[in-house]
Amino acid sequence: MTEFEKTNPYVFIIESLDFDDEEKQAYEGEIISRILSISNIEHKYYYIRTKREFEHFINEFLESNYRYLHISCHGNLNEISTTLDRISFQELGTILGDKLDRKRLFLSSCLSTNKSLAETILSNSDCFSIIGPNEEIDMDDAAIFWSSFYQKMFKDNDRYMKNDKVKEAIKTLKEFFNVSISYFASTKTAKGWKEVNL
């Protein structure tokens, strides 16, 4: 059964920033949401401040049966952050659990898309892939990068994202915007995963 037959090909965005970003109104996820609206791409956008809210909307994501989860927040090599809380990769793996089965995770969070995260998520779920920056990235670059990615993918095929097309789009955009992006994908072996060469 393909991803198309199991889930809805829509984007579910959860965003959380620190107070300085809120004051500057640097809402990357909201910008992406507006672009998706202009492009008539089905999506939901939620802004949160706590881990409890994060857990709530991850359950909403599961109930929506949307295929693409986009998380926009601060992070580092070991955790991501909401406005008021930190979420370790281990906690994140527990929260997400099987909610990413047959779905894709797009993580717009500095430094966080690394092998440690991939091991935690992909070894314990049937998630198709995790894609995001592995170094620091400016919010303006991130907003334009992800908006361009979704625009490209949905213009090409609004029913599903083929692995080769995802790789091609990410590779082109990372070179164009000069940002460092990692792509981890599940393999056909039991609970296996690999880093995709971009």
Which domain CATH number covers 25? Answer: 3.40.50.1460
Containing domain of residue 144, as a range? 7-195
Q: How do the residues of the chain divide into helix, strand and coil, expressed in percent and rounded to 5?
A: 45, 25, 30
pLDDT value of position 124: 85
pLDDT value of position 99: 96
pLDDT value of position 3: 46
Q: Is residue 1, in this structure, part of any structural domain at all?
A: no
Q: Is residue 110, in this structure, part of any structural domain at all?
A: yes
Decide the pairing of beta strands 79-81 and 129-133.
unpaired
DSSP 8-state code for residue 110: T
Number of domains into which the chain is organized: 1
Please choose, from the candidates 49, 44, 105, the residue with its C-alpha nearest in 3D space to the C-alpha of residue 73.
Answer: 49
pLDDT value of position 175: 96
pLDDT along the chain (198 residues), means of 10: 70 97 93 97 98 98 97 97 98 96 96 96 93 95 97 95 96 96 87 89
pTM of the shown model: 0.95
